[in-house]
Structures are given as structure tokens and as C-alpha cells.
Amino acid sequence: MQKTVRPIRTGEEYIESLRGRNLKVYLFGELVKEPVDHPIIRPSINAVAKTYDLAVEEEDLASAKSSITGERVNRFLHIAESAQDVVLQNKMQRKLGQLTGTCFQRCVGMDALNSLHSTTFEMDEKHGTKYHKRLLEFIKMVQHENVVIGGAMTDVKGDRSKGPTEQEDPDMFLHIVDRDDKGVYISGAKAHQTGCINSHWMIVMPAIRLTEKDKDYAIVGCIPVDAPGITYIYGRQSCDTRSMEPGDMDQGNSQFSGQEAMVIFDRAFIPNELIFMDGEYEFASMLIERFTCYHRRSYVCKTGVGDVLIGAAASIADYNGIPNVSHIKDKLVEMTHLNETIYGTGIASSYQSHKMKSGVWQNDDMLANVCKHNVTRFPYQIGRFAQDIAGGLMVTLPSEAEFRSPETGPLLKKYLKARKGVDVENKMRILRLIENMTMGRNAVGYLTESMHGAGSPQAQRIQIARIMQLGYKKKLAKDLAKVQEKGEETLENADYFKRVFKLDNSKE
């Protein structure tokens, strides 16, 4: 297994751990010599570094005592041992959203580890395999070394009307192309992978329900991000080249950003001890559903980002001298209402977690999907209100170079001033922040991820339809209305509500 020199503790130590890995990263058609020092990539690294610093600064929030190692570990690497652990994940995610104003890129790895904990346990129970033991050994290592785990689920899919084995090119879904007594070789591609270049390890997982003929696609394993055979093609983000310009005002949020890339696997090797599924196709859907259950309520991270955007909208209203105008106050109230609705459903899902056979705690599926479905809508409305309050200057504002110019700078300071006592530069910085979060590079982390991350809106609606138990609800109505019909679903068959109403939150 890949080893670091010593356990990482701080954000600065994390940044240094990424140097000198010789990753094959392409950006603008060129090989990046050192990703850590690239001005477009570095803000995304800074966002991950915050996850380390928070664990030092607020230990109870962002770290936990692990029963696997006996050590206090970063919460992003912790296996949830209670409903409170799952709740604290959400509280940590909101805090990090507030601190970075963007995606901090570690939620996929956290949710993958927790969903694999229960899935590997039940695979071993059925097939007599040793996946769970392997996973625990891997978790011991990563918890002790305090490294970043990325998750790679989304295949490029090719012709979406066809399954993996029906594709003209088999590489449209990640699959095993060869094997020997030491492990397997995989080829394919994973699209828009969050924080992959900023990780130390990457867990690859299937993306769709599989059949017996798809056994070669039923592969779950962990691989170092600098393993031979892996190529990264960095994704563009709106206004990303502003990071390469002098100054920082036009960036809006110069310190932090998210990161997405395409990952190409060309006969990349996974050793046996890091394989956690190998052909057990019938468990692919279980893993996906458990992962998406965790990950859909993980989108409470967007409420932390929403807090920043609400604060920016309130600030520009104040700078313009209109904080008490009724329609401005009403819009800020509505933005807050929408933001807290997301948080409420997400954290309620975590509070209603239940204990799985393996000992990990799994959050509530219905509320997780409702949370993510809200996220596909509400951040767009919050962004719309922020743009409304900001006004058109948000997108017509001259550049920082003009502001610094001895010719045009004084003119801008004269004509862009707001209420008395407000520094024009501060006003410009807030406007750029709103632009960045709703139209610029951090709109990816706030808006596009909100729509497509952890599944697009229809994916949540499908899952909600599966578990909404209309038969049970019809029975409730008919009982109260004294309707007598044969063949009705009984109250005892309402599995979802039986679990919700259990006081000990344990799964039967």
C-alpha cells in the first residue's frame, strides 16, 4: 500500500504531501508539471486543506474516536458508530461550506467508506468472501495516516440506452480487462470526479445496477491516485483563468474553489488486498443505493455555501443603503427559509439513522432523497435572489486592472461609490463574490453540483417513488373513513414507518 512519511495533521502538511507525485494531469492541452503550484488548481487544494485545519481547531466537530484504530481520526475517515456521528458529519459539512464558500471535496470518500462497511459485510455473509476484513485493514491505514480518500462512481456511459456489455466500446464503463494472482487490471473512464487530483487514494465503484453478464464491471477497489495507467484531464470552470491574472479582486473567492476532472484508467492495477467487490454483481445496486443515501444528505454542505451567499447579498444591500427596504428584507428571509429547509431535511435524515448489521449507522433514505431534491432547486432560487439584490453591476463591473489604473481608477471610485462610509473596493469585492458563486468557477460547486451531484433530480424522484408506500397511506385513509375492502396492505407491512417509529433506531 501507498505510505506517507508520517501522519498528516495540518492543512499545510497536507499540501506538502501532494508534492512530487508525478501525476499525469492535463490542463489546456498541456501536462501540468506540479499541480500544487498551478494557479487554477491551487485554490481547490486550499479548500481540502481546510478539512485538516478544522479538525485541529474544532476537534469535537471535525474528528472522532475510532473503535477501529483506537485513535482520534478526521471525521471524513470515520465509520459512523452512532446516529450522532452521522449528524456531526452534516454539522461539519455546513461549517466547511461557510469557511470555503465552495466544495471541499471529501464527502464522496467519506460516504463511500461508510456504505462499503455495510455492503462488504453482507457480501461476506452471503458468499464467504473476505472483503470486509480487507476494508477494515485499509481503513486502519488511512485513519492512522490521515490521508484523503476520493470516490469514483460516475462512468462516461456512452450510449445511455445500453448497458455496460452492450456498448460498442466496452471502456464506456470501468471494467476488469485482465487479472493475475496478485490482482486485477482495469480500464475505462470516470467523469467529473470531485477532488480526485487532491486525493491520496481513489475508490472506484460501479455506477448502475448490474446483471450476471456484467460481472467484469462489478469491481470495487482502492488505488493510489499516482498509480501507473491513470491520466487526469482537468475540467474547465467558468472564469477559471482569472486565477492566472494579477490581483485577486476579479476572482471573487481567490482562496478556494472546487475541482472536477475526467479520470482515464488504462490497465491500472488494483492488488487483491484492496479489492472490495469482484464480480458480485447483485450487490452493485445495494452499494449504489447506500452510497447515494449517505451522499444525498451530505448536500447540506450547500447550506454552508448558501450562508456565504446570503451574507454577500445582505452586505451589498447594506452598502447600497437599502438594508431595510421591505422587498430586500423579504428576499433575504426567503433565501434563509430555502437554505434552512435544505439543512432541516438533511440533518433529519441523519438523526433518523439506524444501525446496520456491520455496526455502521445508515441515515434515513426518504429524507436523504427529499434533501437532495430540494438541493436541485433551492440554491438556484437563492442565487437568483442574490443576483436580483446585487443588481446589474455584478456582471458589468470593470476589471481590477481598471480599478488600479491611475487614469480610470479615480473615475471608478467616484462613480461606483455607494452610501457614505463604504469603501468602493469593498463593494466591488462583494459583487465579484456574488458573481463567482452564481456564475463563476464556484457556481460549479454551488449550482451545477446541486443539480447533478449524487444523481440528477429524476434519480431522487425514482427513489422517493420506491419508498413512499402509498399502500400503507391509503390504508390509513380508508381506516379513518371506515372503508371496507379486501386485499388491502396492512399496517404491519409498512417497513419504512416501522423503522422510523422505532425508538432505538436499530434495523431489524
Q: What is the DSSP string of 247-298?
A: SSGGGSSSS----EEEEEEEEEEEEGGGEEEES-GGGHHHHHHHHHHHHHHG
Q: Which H/E stretch holds residue 52?
A: helix 42-57
Same domain, 434 and 478: no
175 Cβ contact list (under 8 Å, min separation 6) = 164, 186, 187, 188, 216, 217, 219
**Gap between the Cα atoms of 111 and 429, Å rounded:** 35
How many other C-beta atoms are found inside a 10 Å radius of the C-beta of residue 468?
13
Q: Are strands 72-74 and 63-65 parallel, antiparallel or unpaired?
A: antiparallel
Same domain, 438 and 388: yes
| Distances from the Cα of 31 to the Cα of 92, 184, 201, 223, angstroms | 35, 28, 21, 22
pLDDT of residue 491: 53
Ranges under pLDDT 50 in the chain? 1-4, 508
Q: Phi/psi of residue 266, each to 5°?
A: -125, 90
Same domain, 454 and 479: no
**Gap between the Cα atoms of 444 and 237, Å rounded:** 7
In a domain, 37, yes or no: no
Same domain, 325 and 379: yes
367-392 burial code (b ≥16 CB/10 A, e <16): bbbbbbbbbbebbeebbebbbebbee
Task: Report residue 159 CA to chain centroid gap.
Answer: 26
Report whether 394 contacts 431 (CB < 8 A): yes
In a domain, 21, yes or no: no
Same domain, 383 and 316: yes
Torsion, CA 81, CA 86, CA 91, CA 94, rounded to 10: 130
Same domain, 390 and 436: yes
Number of domains in the chain: 2
Same domain, 436 and 481: no
Q: Is 455 left (phi over 0), alpha (psi -120 to 50) or beta?
A: left
pLDDT of residue 486: 74
**Gap between the Cα atoms of 354 and 364, Å rounded:** 8
In a domain, 301, yes or no: yes
In a domain, 414, yes or no: yes
| Residue 116 grid cell | 462499503
Type of residue at 284: A
Q: Which of 302, 317, 303, 306 is nearest to 431 (CA)?
A: 317
Same domain, 449 and 476: no
Same domain, 479 and 397: no
Type of residue at 495: D
**Gap between the Cα atoms of 197 and 263, Å rounded:** 9
**Gap between the Cα atoms of 431 and 37, Å rounded:** 28
**Gap between the Cα atoms of 174 and 206, Å rounded:** 8
Per the structure, the complete domain to which residue 488 belongs is given by 469-501
Same domain, 393 and 493: no
pLDDT of residue 508: 41
Q: What residues are annotated to the active site?
A: 103, 107, 194, 260, 295, 299, 301, 449
| Distances from the Cα of 399 to the Cα of 92, 250, 315, 374, 396, angstroms | 35, 6, 21, 35, 9
Q: What share of the chain is helix, strand, coil (3-state, %, to 5)?
A: 55, 15, 30
In a domain, 390, yes or no: yes
Task: Report residue 267 CA to chain centroid gap.
Answer: 27
In a domain, 358, yes or no: no
Same domain, 307 and 414: yes
Report whether 141 contacts 1 (CB < 8 A): yes
In a domain, 482, yes or no: yes
Q: Which of 324, 17, 46 is nearest to 195 (CA)?
A: 46
pLDDT of residue 501: 74
Same domain, 409 and 459: yes
In a domain, 454, yes or no: yes
